[in-house]
Chains A and B, each alone.
Chain A
């Protein structure tokens, strides 16, 4: 029985629990002439929840812990002699798992019977050949110790799967039965289902929070690993970025941070004024018909994949800037430049700024406008002196959110600004950003053990800290805004 079928059985039991619980509540109420505390469906829900939740929780825990426990046990069986020179125990364990998997398939497809399998020996049978029949390719012949480990892996896995099935079903039945016994007209079934809904919602939000923690933890772990191999001082303060895969690289983050900062600033210089003016026009001046057309049209910009913007930068904006600006001014000959990436990224960010600011401006109460117009202020005076100050914190929040998008953007930079890490002021030169370097350090067939690859995690963590800081700042400002005119 696979976990999927087991889960389906639990769900069927749950449905049965619902029907039985509901029916029992109604029957009891009728017999005793008592009034039900909750709706009949609530009793059904309560029984269903007691049937389903503990059983599924047990199953989840089991599925999570079982491989860990089995691995531990098997890996202690494997003698050191079969571990190849320079290899790791974990690689042998991976082989064991694959062989066990292959044996399962051999039995399933009927090529080998269970009895024949138990008498199979690694030194007499061509295990590698037999496994290849079912599509499990092994790199070398199987050592007897490994084969034995695989066989015991199978048997332990089988037993524990059986145990799991029994335990899960028993839990479902036991809890369901207990709950059914407790159904009485006075039982507060409504409260049980309310509590459950609340826990479900808390659980969902925990998923998001825990994921964030998980991401930070994994970044942090690898970053610490990196700083053991490479001095943190050089990473943060060196002005040279020159990775060498033979070792002896310079991995200074400053040129990358500078590139990120420069490109983002160019992008924001374009996006913020245009976006804001669009927002003001849409919110204060445009008629309803125009607005209902223009707002979605501008938001389409936000839906274009960044790689498409990248293409635009690469084949249109880049060559245009090179031919009409860089070369006539003698400032460079490269079609990839900070300006190219910044401008294209700015276009990408316009809808973020305009859409969010438009919402914020619309949220300023009409009473503010009335008050200002009633005093004889013109429309632009009202916008400048009343609406903008009232909406400013929200607008700053929108800008900071756009800024964190800019900092995290990769594709447009690769295609628009190139991949050369450089500290310079000329906006018509190629430069690059943190995100681009994370990609380039991790692409290719590399081992996660050298500072050249691990630096990607340190870069990622730095970036994460920056964008997190920006987001917290944005949220703080937006929250402050909310208190202003309530």
Chain B
């Protein structure tokens, strides 16, 4: 027994304590909107099949960072991204990466529910259709049904799949958007304040859903609600003025943060 060195002991024990393998890694990420710098060298690892919450006061750069993860910032002309972001070890800003394929792997749900003005069925079938994931009607039927089921919406809408998605309630619309994102079988789902436009009951349903989705998907969620971050996430990252303040297990962040700014923000002293 005494033949084991300290280092060897640590090595054998490490798997027990090591956080889950990282799915996405941001290395020294900087973002400029025109002249204005929005992110100052953020280094952050997103663990696989867990929920990571990004918190921080408005304008701190958390949504900007989120939008870098599937290159949604590409749609903004004046936005420039520096540093690198890895998805399974591959740099997503590499010119060889196809942004279409990237976004199929890293899906996104937005702040305001934005179903297309199409039927519920067509909303969910949209992704599989453009990526050629299904060809026959039976295949589409199946992917629509399973996606809606995973989003916990199927029972509520199964009798009106061909009615417009815009006719649903706000919470149902948001779950429809989640189903739409799930339908292309992404590996990562990004959520930008998905509950900010919803009432408490709809919020509870979406949170419950996020918790279930964690088994199959890596989730990154931006939220302004501390309770929400505490309820749904395993790890939390705190942003302030374009910098990552600290990152750690949610429990630790909410009980014993290292940084005073995190402490102040969580207890509502600023932000």
Report the Cα distance A389→B117, complex, angstroms: 8
Smallest beta-carbon distance A163→chain B, Å: 65
Cβ–Cβ contact A367 & B184, under 8 A = no
Tell me the nearest residue of chain A to B164, going by C-beta: A484
A273: chain B residues at CB < 8 Å are: none
B250 to chain A, nearest CB (A): 26
B108: chain A residues at CB < 8 Å are: 370, 374-375
Mark the stretch among A255-263, A300-308, A377-385, A435-443 that contacts chain B.
A377-385
A389/B118 contact (C-beta < 8 A), A367-B110, A374-B110, A375-B126 known? yes
Interface 1/0s, chain B 69-83, versus A by CB < 8 A?
A: 010100101000000
For the complex formed, measure the closest distance between the CB of A19 and the CB atoms of chain B, giving whole angstroms.
Answer: 53
Instruction: Verify if B100 is at the interface (C-beta below 8 Å from A).
Output: yes
Question: Quick one: closest A residue to B111, CB to CB?
Answer: A367
The A interface, classified by DSSP as helix, strand, loop or mixed, is helix
Chain B nearest CB, measured from A307 CB (Å) = 42
Task: Report how far A228 CA is from B72 CA in the complex, Å.
Answer: 70
Which of A367, A374, A381 has most chain B Cβ within 10 Å? A374
**B21 contacts partner chain A, Cβ-Cβ < 8 Å:** no
A377 touches which of B114, B117, B130 (Cβ 8 Å)? B130
Q: How far is the CB of B130 from chain A (nearest CB, A)?
A: 5
Among B75, B110, B118, B127, contact of A376 (Cβ-Cβ < 8 Å): B127
Q: Is the interface of B mostly helix, strand, loop or mixed?
A: helix
B68 interfacial by beta-carbon distance below 8 Å? no
Q: Which of B103, B109, B112, B164 contacts A373 (CB 8 A)?
A: B103
Chain B 105-126: CB-based contact to A (< 8 A → 1; otherwise 0): 0011110101111100000001
Encode contact with B along A305-342: 1 for CB under 8 Å, 0 otherwise. Answer: 00000000000000000000000000000000000000
Is B181's CB within 8 Å of the partner chain A? yes
Count of B residues near A, CB < 8 Å?
31
Interface assignment of B94: CB less than 8 Å from any CB of chain A: no
- B72 lies within 8 A of A374 (CB): yes
Residues in A neighbouring B99, C-beta threshold 8 A: 376
Q: Digitize A326-365: 1 where CB-to-B-CB distance is under 8 Å, 0 elsewhere.
A: 0000000000000000000000000000000000000001
Given contacts A373-B72, A375-B184, A376-B104, contact A385 B117 (CB under 8 A): no
Do residues B118 and A375 form an inter-chain contact, with CB atoms below 8 A? no
- The reply to whether B130 and A376 form a contact with Cβ atoms under 8 Å apart is yes
Interface of chain A residues 171 through 214 with chain B (CB within 8 A) = none
From A288, A373, A381, A485, give the contact of B117 (CB < 8 A): A485
**CA separation between A372 and B100, bound complex, in Å?**
11
Inter-subunit contact A375/B117 (CB<8 Å):
no
Q: Which residues does chain A contribute within 8 Å of B141, judged by CB atoms? A: none
- Shortest A283–chain B CB gap in Å is 14
A369 to B181, CA, bound (A): 14
Query: What separation, in Å, do the CA atoms of A367 and B112 have in the docked complex?
Result: 8
Tell which of B70, B114, B129 touches A367, judged by Cβ atoms closer than 8 Å.
B114
Q: Which residues of A contact B109 (CB under 8 A)?
A: 374
Q: A371-B177, A375-B180 are in contact. List 12 more A-B contacts (CB 8 A).
A: A288-B77, A370-B75, A371-B114, A372-B116, A373-B103, A374-B72, A374-B109, A375-B104, A376-B103, A376-B184, A377-B130, A390-B116
The 10 closest A-B pairs by CB, nearest first: A376-B103, A374-B108, A367-B114, A376-B104, A371-B114, A375-B127, A485-B117, A484-B117, A376-B100, A377-B130
